[in-house]
Every structure is written in C-alpha cells, then in structure tokens.
Amino acid sequence: MNPVRIGLLGLGNMGRFHADYLSQKKVERCELTAIATSDAAKAAKYSGARLFNSPEALIDSGSVDAVVIATPHYSHTSLGIRAFGRGLHVMVEKPISVHVADCERLIAAHRKSNRIFGAMFQLRTEPRYQKLKKLIVTGDLGEIVRVNWIITDWFRTEAYYSSGGWRATWKGEGGGALLNQCPHQLDLLHWLFGRPARVRGFCQFGRYHNIEVEDNVTVYLEYPNRATGLFVSSTGESPGTNRFEIAGERGKVVIENGRMTFTRNEAPMSEFSREAKTGFARPDLWNIEIPTENAPTQHATVMQNFVDAIIENKPLIAPGEEGLYSVEVANAALYSSWTGQVVELPLDSAAYERKLNEKIADSQFEKKVVPVSAEDFTKSFTR
Ligand SMILES: NC(=O)c1ccc[n+]([C@@H]2O[C@H](COP(=O)([O-])OP(=O)(O)OC[C@H]3O[C@@H](n4cnc5c(N)ncnc54)[C@H](O)[C@@H]3O)[C@@H](O)[C@H]2O)c1
C-alpha cells in the first residue's frame, strides 16, 4: 500500500511537535503531505507539505487519507465530523471534545464512516502505566479498593494563560485544568479502573490565575464496586506533587518521583481480616521495586499505531471513542462543583451542555492576549 497521506490541522505548540517527528520520518509508512495553518512562515521548514489556510480547505481538498487535529478543543468536534464525512481517518488531540454531547456527535460521525478514529493519549504507552494495567488485569493487585492521584505539578504562569485567545475561557476552551492538563490522567483512570458510578467535584475557578475557569481541582470518585477515588490537580501550585497510589486486596502500588513500588499483601487483606485469630495481626508484606523506564517517543508511537491501524487494521492503543470517558469525568466534576451535588454517571450530556452554554452567555470575563516568546513546549509534557 502507498504511504498514508497525513494532513495536519493546526500548527501551534502541539501541531509543530507532530510536524517535526512526522517530517523527520519517525513514523513509518506515512507522509506529512499537507498542513493547515494561517501562519505560512511557521510551515516553511516542512517543505514537502502543501499548505492550506484553513482546516476545512485541507479536509475538502481530497489530497490526504487522514488528518491529525491539533487545533483548540472546541474545533475537534466540527473538524472531526467534517473529516469523517469526507471519508478520512482521524487522529484527534485530547480532549476529543469539550463536552460529552459533542463527544457523542463526533463518535456518531465516526460510526457512520467506517474509518479509523484514534485519540492522542500517549501516556498509555508509558511502561509504568502499562505495568500497572498488567497488575490489574492479571489480578496480581486484587480487587481495587482505592485510587488516589495527586497531580499538582502542572504549574502554569499568567503568561501561559494570556498566550492564546482561546485559552482558559468558557467560550474559547470550555474549561481549565480538567480540559487541558488533566485529560491524560483522567483517561488513564478510565483505562485502568473503568467508569465511576458517581462523581463529586470541588473546583476552584481562577484561584491562582486571572482566569474564569478551574485551576484548582479536587474530585471524589466512587466506582460500582464501592472503590473510592480522589483526584487532585492544580496549575497554580509549586513545587506540586505527582503521586499515584492504588490500593487493592493484594497490596498497594505507588508511582512517584520516577519510582514504582508494589507492596504486596502475602494474603488478600479482607480474607486475612476474616480468618485472623488475633486483633492486631497484619498480612505479611513483600516489597517489590518495579523497574520502569520512560518511553522516549510516546506521541510517535501512538501515531505509528494509528498508521498501522489504517493499513492493516491493527488494534488502536487509544480508540477515539474512549476519549468520551475522560471528558465525562471532567464535565461531571465541573457540573458537581456548580450545583453542589453528586453527579451520577452516565452524565446527562444535554443538561451539561446547557449549563456550559449558560456560563458562556453569562461570562463577563475580558481576555487580554499577550503572546509569549518562543520557548521549549516539550517541557509541558508530564513526567
Ligand atoms: N497530547 C499532548 O501531549 C498535548 C499537548 C499539548 C496540547 N495538546 C492539545 O493540542 C491542541 C492544541 O493545543 P496547542 O497547545 O497546540 O494550542 P496552540 O494555541 O499553540 O495552537 C493551536 C493552533 O490552532 C490554530 N487555530 C486556532 N483556532 C482555530 C480554529 N477555530 N480552527 C482551526 N484552527 C485554529 C491556531 O492558529 C494554532 O495554529 C489542544 O486541544 C490541546 O489540548 C495535546
């Protein structure tokens, strides 16, 4: 088969990152043949690619087999639907849409299209999370009873929020930390533990920055088996923490500071509790250090998998439709914060969309855009 002709929509921070590794041929059996950008100067270094001044023009051109959508979140839905309608395969950046109703529209368009739909959830390729998934799937960790993720090291400055007109407003971005920084972690929570039954969010809006959306978040999750979860995140805290702790019947896994440890209960804890004859007995523990290394090419790996899926129907690392679940928890956490109530899942997507539209209509916020000088965007990727 001929190489898959890829068209890139958006040449901002993320789009340039994709363009770099694609044009350096780090993904096989594909070619970056087209780019949609309003800034032709930024595209000059990708000399083999045909330029379009709008994503719609690229999609309609008939000159590509697949598109990579790296534009602001709201446009993921409209551009994705348009691309599926033109018979193109779609790789969409996270979040797949801003809210669940838009996810549903995008997923419906995909179902009608019979094309490949991937989402850029590159953290799924990280060995530490793959090993954690293996511990869960094999039953080595036992039934999960508690999940805590404190990820408060997403520090962002005022300059970051002022840098793009679309950022950090209800109208432009549709959310803050939950929609921009946290989708990867929320995706991993779903990929590892499934869909919670209910969510209670405590979001603080503009707590650390002059923005109208959330920059400090505490979310309580409850799963169908009564396992509990706590997800804490912030873009204003320094130094912040990134600690992922999972407790199961067979022990506890902690991922923090580049280490992954598994403290294993020699006997499942509830069984031990039922059978012990003395009050203060505890299961014997085995301390296991699980080796992990960083995956150096997370995005290119997910993109290679997308190309392989197009050519030979290889299963996707991150099917696009699974992107709904991280959006659902983000939406539920916001909805719960606004209403002061626990939100049962599945989320009422129409009710959430109405509420978000009210926020947009009622917004008094005036965005002042101050462009930032060039800096190393890859520093933003989570460790
Ligand atoms: N997977 C990851 O690790 C990762 C990292 C960063 C960003 N992202 C995602 O990539 C997307 C883009 O983020 P970014 O940081 O590159 O933003 P950015 O502001 O740097 O770039 C956005 C690009 O889209 C263009 N654009 C703006 N409005 C548009 C519209 N309405 N229609 C079409 N194009 C438009 C802009 O001109 C710009 O080229 C976001 O959805 C973000 O969540 C993913």
Query: pLDDT tens-digit profile of 320-344?
Result: 999 999 999 999 999 999 999 999 9
pLDDT in tens, 340-375: 999 999 999 999 999 999 999 999 998 888 888 766
- Joined together, the tokens standing for residue 336 give 């719960």
Q: What string of DSSP letters covers 124-172?
A: GG-HHHHHHHHHHHTTTT-SEEEEEEEE------HHHHHS-TTTTSTTT
**10 CA distance to ligand 1 centroid (A)?**
6
pLDDT band at 3 (very low <50, low <70, confident <90, very high): very high
Distance 85 CA to ligand 1 centre (A): 22
Q: Give the span between the Cα atoms of 348 and 332, in whole angstroms.
A: 9
- From the CA of 94, give the closest atom in ligand 1: 43
Nearby residues of 243 by Cβ (< 8 Å), 6 or more positions away? 148, 149, 150, 151, 254, 255, 256
Higher pLDDT, 367 or 126: 126
Tell me the average pLDDT across 371-381: 72
Report CA(110)–ligand 1 centroid distance (Å). 21
Residue 187: CB partners within 8 Å, gap ≥ 6?
Answer: 94, 119, 121, 123, 124, 318, 322, 323, 325, 326
Q: Which atom of ligand 1 is nearest to the CA of 167?
A: 19
The structural domains of the chain, ordered by start, are 4-123+297-315 (3.40.50.720), 124-293+326-377 (3.30.360.10)
DSSP H stretches of helix in the chain: 13-23, 40-43, 55-60, 74-85, 100-113, 127-137, 158-162, 177-180, 183-193, 269-275, 298-312, 323-339, 349-362
Which residue's CA lies nearest to atom 1 of ligand 1? Answer: 120
On the question of pLDDT at 217 being above 70, the answer is yes
CB-CB neighbours of 145 under 10 Å: 18
| 3-state SS assignment for residue 25 | coil
| Ligand 1 geometric centre to CA of 132 (Å) | 30
Q: Mutate which of 93, 188, 367 to test ligand 1's pocket (most atoms within 8 Å of Cβ)?
A: 93
Substitution candidate for ligand 1 out of 52, 71, 78, 297 with most atoms within 8 A of CB: 71
pLDDT of residue 30: 98
> What is the mean predicted confidence (pLDDT) over 24-35?
98
Whether the CB-CB separation of 356 and 129 falls below 8 Å is answered with: no
Q: Using CA atoms, how far apart are residues 231 and 191, in angstroms rounded to an integer?
A: 15
Residues 275-313: pLDDT tens digits?
A: 999 999 999 999 999 999 887 899 999 999 999 999 999
- Cα(101) to centroid(ligand 1), Å: 21
The closest residue, in CA terms, to atom 21 on ligand 1 is: 12
Average pLDDT score, the chain: 96
Is the pLDDT at 48 greater than 70? The verdict is yes
Q: Does residue 164 or residue 347 have the better pLDDT?
A: 347
* Separation CA 224–CA 194 (nearest Å): 9
Confidence of residue 382 (pLDDT cuts 50, 70, 90): low
Phi/psi-derived region of residue 40, left when phi > 0, alpha when psi is between -120 and 50, beta in every other case: alpha
In angstroms, the CA 349 to CA 101 distance is 5
Structure-token pair, residue 124:
């799924």
Mean pLDDT within 5-13: 97
Q: How far apart are the first and last CA of the chain?
A: 37
**Angle, alpha carbons 58-62-68 (nearest 5°):** 45
Pocket of ligand 1 (CB under 6 A): 10-15, 37-38, 55, 70-73, 75, 93-94, 120, 122, 164, 166, 180, 381
Taking the C-alpha atoms of residue 135 and residue 103, their distance in angstroms, rounded to an integer, is: 30
Residue nearest to atom 3 of ligand 1 (CA): 381
